[in-house]
Amino acid sequence: MLEDWGAAISLVYIAAAIQTVGFLVRDQLVLRALILAGTILYIVYYYTEPETPLWDAMACGAIMGAANLYTMIRMALDRRPTVFAEEDLVVYRALPQVSPGEFRRLVAIAERGTVSIPMGVTREGILPDYLYYLVEGSFTLEKRGSSREIVGPTFLGEIAYMLDQPASATVTLNEGARYIRWKVTDLKALIAKDQLLKNALEVAFNRDLAVKVVDAR
């Protein structure tokens, strides 16, 4: 038991202050590091202050600290720099809010290709099976009897994906176009486990749509 009660109380105050500061920090990794530091101080307090150490409280603190540390390691690994292929970098630049680790998981389920003959990717009134990103080249957009050619890079089929409804236009990739695509069911399964990735994709889709609206005027 600590002889100086002031030291014991100070330990609690310091732990609480550190964790409070953590809750004010936006960076998730820093937040978790501060919460872990506070947890360690609480465990020290539970061991040194009472006449008999509070083993149950220490065990719970250790379990929560270990879980927090595990998540911190995953977050740190997600943030480590990665060398991506050229076509992947084009997509990565369109998703500035995605960490390298999240992007690695995203491209891991993607398919890549180069069009040798015109290839349809969406058909008006039909729900698409894939979400496309045109890395390089052009596509033909047909809607309500009119058509025009548009140059990438850009997402294709994002409106149908976001709203889970049939495509509003027919899109055909022209010869030579390079693309990356994701099966809709696989992509939705991935983002269901990663809210940050889901939010980043929605921001990218909205920005892409805004550019298309401006270009269409």
Q: pLDDT category, 52, cuts 50, 70, 90?
A: confident
| Interstrand relation of 170-173 and 178-183 (parallel, antiparallel or unpaired) | unpaired
Q: Which domains are delineated in the chain?
A: 5-79 (no CATH), 86-216 (2.60.120.10)
**57-66: average pLDDT:** 93
Q: pLDDT category, 147, cuts 50, 70, 90?
A: confident
Distance (Å, whole) CA 163 – CA 182: 16
- The answer to whether the CB of 169 falls within 8 A of the CB of 208 is no
The model's pLDDT over 177-199, given as tens digits with 9 standing for 90+, comes to: 999 999 999 999 999 888 888 88
The model's pLDDT over 25-43, given as tens digits with 9 standing for 90+, comes to: 888 889 999 999 999 999 9
**pLDDT > 70 in the chain, percent:** 92
- The answer to whether the CB of 17 falls within 8 A of the CB of 32 is no
- The answer to whether the CB of 120 falls within 8 A of the CB of 181 is no
**68-86: average pLDDT:** 80
What number of CA atoms fall less than 13 Å from residue 38's CA on the CB side? Answer: 19
